[in-house]
Amino acid sequence: MGIIITNGRIVSSEGILEKDVRIVGEKIVEIGLNISKAGDKIIDAKGSYIMPGAIDVHTHFDADACGIVADSFYTGTKAAISGGTTTIIDFAEQVKGGTLREALNQWNEKTEDNTYTDYGYHMTISDWNKETQKEMEDMVKEGITSFKMFFAYKDLQVGDGAIYEALKKSKELGVLISFHCENGYIIDKLREEAILNGNIEPIFHMETRPPALERESISRLISIGEVVNTPVYIVHLSSKEGYEEIQRAKERGQKVLIETCPQYLLLNKDYYLPRGQDSFEGAKYVMSPPLRDIESNKVLWKGLNLGEIDVVATDHCAFNYKVQKELGIDDFTKIPNGAPGVENRFKLIYTYGVREKKITMEKLVEVLSENPAKIFGLYPKKGVIKEGSHADIVIFNPEYKSIIKAEEQIQNVDYNLYEGFIQYGRFEYIFLRGQIIVEKEKIINSTPTGKYQRRGKPKFHNN
Ligand code: URP
Ligand code: ZN
Ligand code: ZN
């Protein structure tokens, strides 16, 4: 006995198909017409799209500030699946002096029986040495086929020599390294100068991280990648300046994969300006890189539409406004960096991308599901509605309208970046490996059933 989803429109990057989908157990077994068998449960998807579950390849659940965690893996993945995301890839973080294995063990403890979505990890490298180099091989055997390194943040950044060696290793292993591109050395100087001059408000977070410093480290990364002759992945691209630098490299024939996030498409630097009584409210938008100008929003939308930007992820990293963001009330450098968004990505990109004709429905599936699955070694198990694939399916009815309100959200955090934004769509059903988790926007399966996904080697476009 299986489940038939009928009367819907199946979306992939290649087009929209009016066919039925049959699920048995955890998988899609057939796509076609008149495929139901006796005893099948029928789900009528009339008026809705049938889409692969979205994949969020950039989350930081269980992020701690002053001993408090806003979104744990439990609440964060519950919010994710409520918002159409059925798989997440979180960053397991090596600490300086620690090993990759220790980070993996720590993340396994956090996630075990504690996630509503399927999940995997990227491994953050912040201490580069011979042991780390050797451990990259061990991580690949564990199904961790992507790593992350930083050009920014005192405690996390490594030097250019380390980046060169790690890229050589990633090339040898056939895996991918993603990079946070902002010049941390100069940013530290700008921050010191700002505080010395009494510039303590949240707006100076943005002022001390100018787009030129994103462009500079993108340019440096691209040059190192060119010398090693291997692709690189840039996380959370925020600026026109950074985008144009990448385009120049691509014109020279270099392989650069790009991720951006809803906040860099939909919000801009005016959010740091004091509003009304509360001059600290900009702290809600303290994330790195910071929000940029409206021109950057436009350039990033255009890049998505042209297929130059590959992925939209969230960089969900939630800290409460009260107590946690308030750590920086007298000094913006003490505001924990990061913002929530895992629950809102799907409908925001649909509402402000597809409905406003900046991208097509096919492109939405490409950047939320298909490309993330391909780039991060989950395809065709995930990211596509196809025979043999996991039945991670979103039945999305585009006609409903609602307003984003923090007080109604599942994310365990006391504000929402998009408070008051109109959004379209309703999740009629969300399946994770054939199991209905969400029905008419409500979680109906209260036990977290997410499983760790061993990922294969990345597949890039044209390879
Ligand atoms: O501000 C941010 N983005 N915090 C999370 C860590 C990172 O840089 O991705
Ligand atoms: Zn980052
Ligand atoms: Zn991040």
CB 346 within 8 A of CB 87: no
Q: What is the pLDDT of residues 128-159, one digit of tens each?
A: 999 999 999 999 999 999 999 999 998 899 99
Beta-carbon contacts of 404 under 8 Å, excluding residues fewer than 6 positions away, are: 344, 416, 418, 419, 420, 421, 423
90 C-alpha to ligand 2 centroid (Å)? 12
Q: How much distance in Å is there from the Cα of 288 to the middle of ligand 1? A: 5
Q: What is the mean pLDDT of residues 337-362?
A: 98
DSSP string, 346-385: HHHHIIIIITTTSS-HHHHHIIIIIHHHHHTT-TTTSSS-
Query: Per-residue pLDDT tens for 32-47?
Result: 999 999 999 999 999 9
Q: Has residue 2 got a pLDDT over 50?
A: yes
Best of 59, 337, 413 for a ligand 1 pocket test (most atoms within 8 Å of beta carbon): 337
Q: Which domains does the chain have, with CATH numbers?
A: 53-375 (3.20.20.140)
Residues surrounding ion ligand 3 at CB below 5 Å: 315
- How far apart CA 185 and CA 121 sit, in angstroms, is 28
Which residue owns the Cα nearest ligand 1 atom 5?
338
- Is 100's C-beta closer than 6 angstroms to any atom of ligand 1? no
Q: What is the pLDDT of residues 3-60, one digit of tens each?
A: 999 999 999 999 999 999 999 999 999 999 999 999 999 999 999 999 999 999 999 9
The stretch 268-272 carries a mean pLDDT of 97
H-state helical runs in 197-271? 203-207, 211-228, 240-251, 262-266
Ligand 3 center–CA 287 separation, angstroms: 9
Q: If DSSP codes are grouped into helix, strand and coil, which group holds residue 22?
A: strand
Query: In Å, what is the CA distance from 125 to each residue of 101, 311, 407?
Result: 11, 22, 36
Ligand 1: does its nearest atom lie under 6 Å from the Cβ of 259?
no
Counting ligand 1 atoms within 8 A of each CB, the residue from 209, 284, 317 with the most, and so the one to mutate, is: 317
Q: Which atom of ligand 1 is nearest to the CA of 60?
A: 5
CA dihedral angle for residue 189, residue 195, residue 196, residue 198, rounded to 10 degrees: 150
* CA–centroid distance, residue 103 to ligand 3 (Å): 16
Q: Place 423 in a pLDDT band, splitting at 50, 70 and 90.
A: very high
Tell whether ligand 1 has an atom less than 6 A from the beta carbon of residue 368: no
pTM of the model: 0.98
Task: Inform me whether the pLDDT recorded for 463 exceeds 50.
Answer: no
For ligand 1, atom 7: residue with the closest CA = 288
315 lines ligand 1 (CB under 6 A): yes
Contact of 214 with 240, CB cutoff 8 Å: no
**Mean pLDDT value across residues 214-219:** 98
pLDDT exceeds 80 at position 462: no
